Structure 1
Amino acid sequence: MLSPSYPVLTERLLLRPITEQDIDPMLEYKSREDVVRFVPYKPLSREEITERVAGIWSRTELNEPGQAICLAVEERATGRLIGDVVLFWHSAEHRSGEIGYIFSPAVSGQGYATEAAAALLRLGFEDLGLHRIVARLDERNTASARVAERLGMRQEARLVRSEWFKEQWSTGLIYAMLDEEWVRSAWR
Structure 2
Amino acid sequence: MEFNTERLTIRPFMNEDLDDVFNIYSDQETCRYLLHEPWTHDNKQEKFNKKLTNHSLTQDQALSLAIVNEGRVIGDLSVWYTGMKDTVEVGYTFSQESSGKGFATEALKGLLQKLFIDYKVHRIQATLDARNEASGRLCERVSMRKEAHFVQDYWNKGEWTDSVVYGMLVEDLEERLK
Q: Which runs of 4+ in 1 moved over 6 A?
A: none
Which of 156, 165, 178 is the equivalent residue of 2:169? 178
Give, in whole Å, the separation in 2 of the partners of 1:90 and 1:33: 28
Q: How big is the shift at 1:41?
A: 0.9
- The TM-score normalised by the length of structure 2 is 0.93
Structure 2 partner of 1:153 = 144
Q: 2:61 aligns with which of 67, 92, 98?
A: 67
**Contact 1:161-1:170 at 8 Å conserved across structures:** yes
What residue number does 1:34 align with? 29
1:19 to 6, 11, 14: 14
CA contact (8 A) 1:135 1:174 kept: yes
Matches within 5 A, 1:37-186: 37-63=32-58, 65-75=59-69, 78-91=70-83, 94-186=85-177
Deviations 1:125-169 (A, max 9, x none): 111111000011011101100100000000000001111111111
List gaps (5 residues or longer) in structure 1: none
Structure 2, unmatched stretches of 5+, are none
Q: Given the superposition, is the C-alpha separation of residues 126 and 47 from structure 1 closer, same or farther in structure 2, using an over 3 Å criterion?
A: farther
Cα distance in 2 for residues equivalent to 1:170 and 1:66: 28
The share of aligned pairs that are identical, in percent, is 35
**Which letter does structure 2 place at the counterpart of 1:114?**
T
- With structure 1 as the length reference, what TM-score do the two structures score? 0.88
Deviation at 1:47, TM superposition (A): 4.3
CA contact (8 A) 1:84 1:102 kept: yes
Backbone CA RMSD of aligned residues: 1.6
Question: For the residues of structure 2 that align with 1:46 and 1:148, how far apart are their CA atoms?
Answer: 32
